[in-house]
Structure 1
Amino acid sequence: MNPALRPAPFRAFIRRWFNWLVLGAMAGAILGALALLLSLGAAERAERVQAQRASEILQTLDRVERAALSAESAQRGYFITLDQRYLEPYRTARTQTVEELEKLDRSLADGAPVQRQQVDRIRAALEDKFSELDDTVGLLEQGNLRDARRRILTGDGYDAMQRLTTAIDTLAAIERNLLADQTERARTAEERILPALGVLLLLLVGAIALGAVLVARAAQAETEAAQARELETARDRADLLAQELNHRVKNLFAMVLAIVQMSARDVTDVAAYKERIGSRIRALLTAHEVTQGSGTAADRLNREGGASLRALVEATVEPHVSEEKRLEIDGEDVAIARIQVTPLGLVLHELATNSVKYGCWSKEGLLTVRWRKEGDLVHLEWQEERDGSIHEEDGDNGARTEVGGGFGSTLMTGAGRQLGGEVERTFGPRGVTVRIVFPPHPKDGAA
């Protein structure tokens, strides 16, 4: 069938799903790039940890060997000269070997039977060596020079020293091999990331090409329309869809990049980093779902050209509610501009996260979210109430510590600008209060 002859609803259905396919391909490319970067970061971090651990173990082994040699030299000096001054370095070296062995035990990771076997051999060799040294020194202190010489000539000390050296060399070789293996894994991960990023880049190019095909097909179908007025209307709609797609993709890239960069501040744990990024990207998804309609009231408001403020609040906050974490929502179903949903949704998500971690929902408490429309402005109030004092960030403003080293403050400042209004926070003895005032329909050109 000629595409121009297909029913209009069918063509709209095809265009809509084609649009979702393009967005899905781009989102998949972004998430794939993030996963690759996280895997590379984890491999490099493991290499640094292994290098530090190997360095500590090798230095400890060197000190153990030096202490044993120092004790042996002091014993020989005392045997030759009977000078009491040789006993002090002998006792110092003996104490040092005990301390270094304890450090070696702490440095070894759990579940390292091969390394611990070598440590046991080192400990046994040291015990045999110092047994020979202690016997000799004791005999010399008693003035029994002949027996002390005979004890030395038995060769027990020499054999113990050979076993000690062999065990130390073996353990050092094991640690060097582990470090080399970890370095090779990191190098392999680094080599894999470039081809994978190339594939992801091709996927992005393909998605853009698919978008171009979508616009071209829409333009062709409109050109084949019978009536000039319908053709012009269809062209205008295709251009609007293309601009909206381009605008949303740009905003998606910018928002994800900002979340990745600001969530990475002072991060030391890859798992926490992944959880932080994932929760904030899920907040973006929640805001997007609200703009598409998620319920009877929300669907009605979407058909009328706006997004539901109540649906946004419920979708963001209600997943945390339980018997201990109580919630009260009060406000009429106000329609806000779709462009305001993302910044407001991110602010509500950040407040809910802080409430669970530090605020009224960290224990038993009540969260009240109310809003009202007065004239051309919407007044939204976030009120937390719980027993006890709130967490403090500093003595000047009493603001609680925010996840990500200030991400929340930066987010709220930027959100206030994007909403075309103001965000105000106050902290009382029972909890935090946030007041957001903004026009439900910002002026044209507001970002």
Structure 2
Amino acid sequence: MSPAAPRSSEPSLTPAPFRVFIRRWFNWLVLGAMAGAILGAIALLLSTGAAERAERIQVERADDILRVLDRIERAALSSESAQRGYFITLDQRYLEPYRTSRANAAAGLDDLSAALDEGATEEQLAHYGEIVSALDDKFGELDQTIGQLEAGRLRDARRRILMGDGYDAMQRLTGAIDALAEIEGQLQEQQSARAQAAEQRIVPLLGVLLLLLIGAIILGAVLVARTAQAETEAAQARELERERDRADLLAQELNHRVKNLFAMVLAIVQMSAREAADVNSYRDGIASRIRALLTAHEVTQGTGTAADRLNRQGGASVRALVEATVQPHVSAEKRLELDGDDVTIDRIQVTPLGLVLHELATNAVKYGCWQAHGLLTVRWRKQDDLLHLEWQEETSEELQSRHGADDDRARQQGGGGFGSTMMTGAARQLGGEIERTFGPRGVTVSIAFPANPKPLKA
């Protein structure tokens, strides 16, 4: 049989490092898009919240300033009304509201100064100074007039009022208050416009961010799909590699077994010739042994009527597998002893174990205990989760004297040939270990592999 054809694989059009580079940057792109969408949404919400908070602060500030300005203006008007009432009636009762209004105006100035605080513009400070100056002039004229009236100088008080200084001061006060109120109104409108602009931006920006997030999710789904595909392809590649190894092993085994088959047929013919008394018995012996050999071959390959008989609930009987494998060689001189419970092994373990048993049986016929009179003992037992099988050959004294030293027998029984390699590979397929020992009476082979045998049903 020709050796297995060398494996070939189609080269990828894209170099592996470049594919890794693209995949890595694609991953970073997905993460960047998702992070950008989330950070953008957070920044947008924060900016909108800041604009609304600034508008609220500006509204509260403008309300405070307008309320204080109104209080100052009303206090000035009340003071002027009290001064006029006292001038007309000379009733001392008008002096009390005058003093109260004057105190309210002074307190209002303090509150206005606190409301403007450090954030006031130069224009606002200028108007504040005009308010202070106008109030000083107004109350100065009122204080002077009331003092003249209290001294009984009515003409002087009347002349002071008619000079118009109080009127001018009041006009300046009203103008400064109106200007400052107008500035606060403008600031409030500007802040409201900024808040509205921020609110108007939030919808389209949120739409853009939503699209970005959806795109990132789609890219992430693509990434997950490509990763899953890559993992599937890698798993398929690994499975294909295992199948190729198995095919190579089976191909080499087939070549090896074909050679062994001719040797075994020759041995059967020679053995039958020595045992036969006449031609008919010679013919029947050869036919029966060749049929048994065919049965063993079918069992090791997992096909045929023998395999169907051995398969039970997805497994096979260890005893029946051993019997079917070695039965072609058993005779009165080639003795066989089996010792073990009727346990099962998984279907996938039948072929590798059958290959090992077949190789051991071939070696026993060609080099071992069945080359002449001898005894083969096969024992197996289940211990914990392992199945232990022991193949022990006991050669006759004639064969021992013919072979001589143990190392010569080990060399003859394939210590370094393909048979040894095949048995080691089969042991790996079983997931266990195989150990061979060459003693003075023959070879002993110990096999241990995981097994979960089930009771056989009739």
Alignment TM-score, normalising by the size of structure 2: 0.47
Alignment TM-score, normalising by the size of structure 1: 0.48
Larger Rg: 2
